[in-house]
């Protein structure tokens, strides 16, 4: 790995809170990097954007960004994610994109918009039955006035007769007296067993007749793969969804053949969803941001190798979404996702995440070390970034000890203040960040691999007396990347 470290101390515009000068980070340019080193870096809070690697200055920046990862093999799919997968399955089975089926597509979009990713508010018809706790009549009260009867307040715009108030109090007292006489209790009777759903009752009845029938509690839980329709597409489905993993760096033949279509999709996504200017989404910018990668594929790893890939989602031969991922020795790291906004009602953000978690599970069968799914950064102060904590079980990286802490144990501390030490239950320290000597830091100087101590000696012999001034910058570099990485990677010196 060959890196060039930048000393960045000036604040810049934050992409989350939009403050102009309150974001701070450290960065370095990776000319090339092996996947083992990058795995170690992201486990110290680094991330990459193209070939540029950066680490937020956590105690200083306005919106601290905590690295988050999910244990893929222990992943429990939530009800809302099941609904996303079910919606995709039902659409593949029944949807229609032909011109005559546009009405069907519009219905699907309207249905998904109403459900808001599968979760709706309670409708009027679903409100709790009030018949058992309130009288079945309503009196209207004058505008901007209200009267209180027991624990009930009412107000409206029509006039209440003057003699009705006393009637309401009288009736309220009668109801209270009757409730007390008959021991009427609001809510479920705690002395009786809880009610069962009709489906559960039918299963138990069937089991009593046939012991081989299993009740719902005894049925084996479905695997994540069984929820994903693109892995098991029904033969009678109207549409087919195919997910192709293509290497983006160095580019494979499959990637090159879809390069233009993928860039056009990115442009449509950025201009529609993020309101970017079209000229800012040119091919060069896309390549630099999501295609270029410093990661060396190497010869080890899964069948397709470690490195950088594009996970392409093809719907009936049309590219509708792309997930940019890195496959590393211990994880699959999500870099970015873009999709066709016309298909946003299919919730590709959630669907791609559970699809990539499933991908990690399959990789772990042959490569047990690959067991985590990294979702990038978690930002408690940014509502749009807190959704990442919903993929259970997930863990945040402590910015001081670099230990992993369950998200649930971090929420209280992060609500109090944006930056916090996460593992408060122990006094662990960052041993890898303790640099006692700079002489073991490896450098690349004049095409030669050399230790930093010898580098300074060469510079002094050449008459350069400013070499000593580089010590603070090199020490900061070693502390940020960790001593082990500093002794493996090559720090470029000019």
Instruction: Compute the average pLDDT of residues 432-458.
Output: 93
Residue 48, pLDDT score: 97
pLDDT mean over 468-492: 94
Residue 190 lies in a domain: no
Contact 22, 62 (CB under 8 A): yes
Statement: residue 101 has pLDDT above 70: no
How do residues 175-194 score in pLDDT, each as one tens digit?
566 555 555 555 566 667 77
Does the pLDDT at position 106 exceed 70? no
End position of a domain, from candidates 337, 370, 391: 391
Where residue 127 falls among pLDDT bands split at 50, 70, 90?
very low
The whole-number pLDDT of residue 25 equals 95
pLDDT band at 341 (very low <50, low <70, confident <90, very high): very high
Q: Is residue 156 part of a domain?
A: yes
Q: If phi over 0 gives left and psi between -120 and 50 gives alpha, with beta otherwise, what is residue 187?
A: left
Tens-place pLDDT, residues 261-273: 999 999 999 999 9
The CATH number of residue 76's host domain is 3.40.630.30
Mean pLDDT across the stretch 337-355?
95
* Domain C-terminal end among 344, 360, 391: 391
Please name the residues in contact with 431: beta carbons below 8 A apart, sequence gap of 6 or more: none
Least confident of 175-189, 253-267, 324-338, 474-488: 175-189
Judged by average pLDDT, the poorest of 9-23, 72-86, 226-240, 269-283 is 226-240
Considering the domain architecture, whether residues 357 and 480 belong to the same structural domain is answered as no
Instruction: Answer yes or no: do 370 and 256 share one domain.
Output: yes
Give the residue ranges of DSSP H helices in 303-449. Answer: 348-366, 407-416
Same domain, 351 and 445: no
- Residue 35: the pLDDT is 96
pLDDT tops 90 at residue 442: yes
Whats the size of the chain, residue-wise?
Answer: 494
Indicate if 103 and 177 belong to the same structural domain: no
What's the rounded mean pLDDT across residues 387-392? 92
pLDDT beyond 50 at 22: yes
Q: Which residue has the higher pLDDT, 395 or 180?
A: 395
Instruction: Decide: residue 400, CB within 10 A, 0-12 exposed, 13-18 middle, 19+ buried.
Output: middle
Per-residue pLDDT, 120: 34
Question: How large is the average pLDDT for residues 93-102?
Answer: 57
Residues 112, 93: Cα–Cα separation, whole Å: 16
The answer to whether residue 152 sits within a structural domain is yes
Mean pLDDT estimate for the chain: 83
Given a cut of 50, whether residue 151 has pLDDT beyond it is no
Which of 73-77, 118-122, 172-176, 223-227 has the lowest average pLDDT?
Answer: 118-122
Burial class from Cβ neighbours inside 10 Å (0-12, 13-18, 19+) for residue 245 reads middle
User: What pLDDT does residue 134 have?
Assistant: 32
Is the pLDDT score of 481 beyond 80? Answer: yes
Residue 377 lies in a domain: yes
Enclosing domain of residue 145: 134-181
pLDDT in tens, 401-420: 999 999 999 988 999 999 99
- How far apart, in whole angstroms, are the C-alpha atoms of residue 158 and residue 70? 57
314 and 386 inside one domain: yes
Residues paired with residue 327 on neighbouring β-strands, in sequence order: 307, 332
For residues 16 and 175, which has the higher predicted lDDT (pLDDT)? Answer: 16
pLDDT at 135: 34
CB atoms within 10 A of CB 301: 18
98 and 230 housed in the same domain: yes
Regarding whether 253 and 174 lie in a shared domain, the answer is: no
């Amino acid at each position: 790995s060959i890196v060039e470290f930048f000393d960045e101390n000036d604040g810049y515009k934050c992409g989350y809170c939009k403050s102009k000068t309150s974001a701070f980070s450290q960065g370095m340019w990776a000319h090339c990097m092996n996947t083992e080193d990058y795995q170690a870096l992201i486990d110290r809070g680094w991330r990459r954007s193209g070939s540029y690697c950066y680490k937020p200055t956590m105690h200083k920046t306005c919106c601290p960004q905590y690295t988050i990862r999910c244990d893929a093999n222990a992943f429990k799919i939530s009800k809302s994610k099941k609904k996303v997968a079910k919606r995709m399955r039902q659409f593949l089975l029944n949807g229609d994109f032909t011109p005559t089926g546009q009405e069907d597509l519009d219905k699907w979009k309207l249905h998904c918009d109403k459900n808001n990713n599968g979760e709706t508010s309670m409708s009027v018809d679903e409100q709790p039955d009030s018949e058992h706790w309130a009288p079945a009549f309503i009196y209207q009260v004058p505008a901007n006035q209200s009267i209180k009867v027991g624990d009930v307040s009412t107000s409206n715009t029509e006039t209440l007769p003057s003699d009705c108030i006393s009637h309401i109090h009288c009736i309220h007292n009668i109801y209270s007296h009757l409730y007390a006489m008959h021991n009427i209790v609001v809510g479920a009777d705690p002395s009786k067993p809880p009610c069962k759903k009709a489906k559960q009752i039918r299963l138990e009845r069937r089991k009593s007749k046939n012991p081989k029938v299993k009740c719902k509690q005894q049925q084996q839980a479905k695997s994540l793969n069984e929820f994903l329709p693109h892995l098991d597409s029904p033969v009678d489905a109207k549409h087919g969804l195919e997910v192709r993993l293509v290497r983006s760096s160095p580019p494979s033949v499959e990637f090159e053949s879809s390069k233009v279509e993928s860039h056009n999709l990115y442009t449509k996504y950025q201009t529609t969803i993020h309101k970017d200017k079209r000229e800012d989404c040119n091919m060069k910018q896309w390549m630099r941001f999501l295609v270029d990668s410093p990661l060396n594929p190497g010869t080890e790893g899964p069948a397709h190798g470690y490195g950088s890939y594009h996970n392409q989602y093809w719907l009936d031969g049309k590219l509708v979404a792309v997930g940019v991922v890195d496959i590393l020795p211990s994880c699959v790291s999500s870099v970015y996702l873009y999709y066709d906004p016309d298909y946003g009602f299919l919730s590709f953000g959630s669907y791609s995440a559970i699809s990539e978690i499933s991908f990690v599970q399959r990789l772990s069968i042959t490569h047990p070390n690959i067991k985590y799914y990294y979702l990038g950064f978690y930002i408690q102060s940014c509502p749009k970034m807190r959704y990442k904590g919903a993929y259970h079980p997930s863990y945040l990286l402590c910015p001081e000890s670099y230990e992993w802490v369950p998200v649930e144990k971090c929420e209280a501390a992060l609500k109090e203040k944006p930056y916090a030490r996460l593992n408060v239950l122990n006094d662990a320290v960052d041993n890898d960040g303790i640099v006692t000597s700079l002489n073991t830091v490896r450098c690349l100087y004049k095409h030669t691999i050399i230790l930093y101590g010898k580098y300074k000696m060469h510079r002094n012999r050449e008459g350069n007396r400013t070499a000593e001034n580089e010590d603070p910058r090199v020490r900061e570099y070693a502390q940020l990347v960790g001593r082990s990485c500093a002794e493996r990677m090559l720090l470029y010196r000019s």
